[in-house]
Amino acid sequence: MTFQGAIIREQGQVFAVVIVKKHIVDNSGTAAETIRSFQPAFPGMPVVLMVQDSRGTPTYYGRRDIARFLASISISRIPWRQFTLN
C-alpha cells in the first residue's frame, strides 16, 4: 500500500502525519485503528492523521499536542512524500 505522509522533527519531537479520507477521522474507533495500522511504517513515532475539506483546510486527528502544533503551521511547511507499507 502506498500513501502520502511526512516525518516531522520539531522541538525535539519526531512524529508522522498521514493523509486519510474524512470518513476515517469521523469515527474515533476507525481513526485509532488506522493510526495503529500505520505504526509499522513509523516505528517508535506518534502518528497523526490529516484530512482536508473541499477548500483544502486541514484537520488533524491524534495526539492533541501534535495536532495543535500542526494546526498552527501552514500545511505548505509539511514535507509530504510517498511511503509504502507492506
pTM of the model: 0.94
User: What CATH number does the domain containing 19 carry?
Assistant: 3.40.1350
Task: Report the share of the chain in percent with pLDDT over 90.
Answer: 93
Counted domains in the chain: 1
Is beta strand 13-19 parallel, antiparallel or unpaired with respect to 81-84? unpaired
CB count, 10 Å around CB of 25? 18
Chain segment 34-44, per-residue pLDDT in tens? 999 999 999 99
Domain range for 35: 2-84
Ramachandran category for residue 13: left, alpha or beta (phi over 0 → left; psi -120 to 50 → alpha): beta
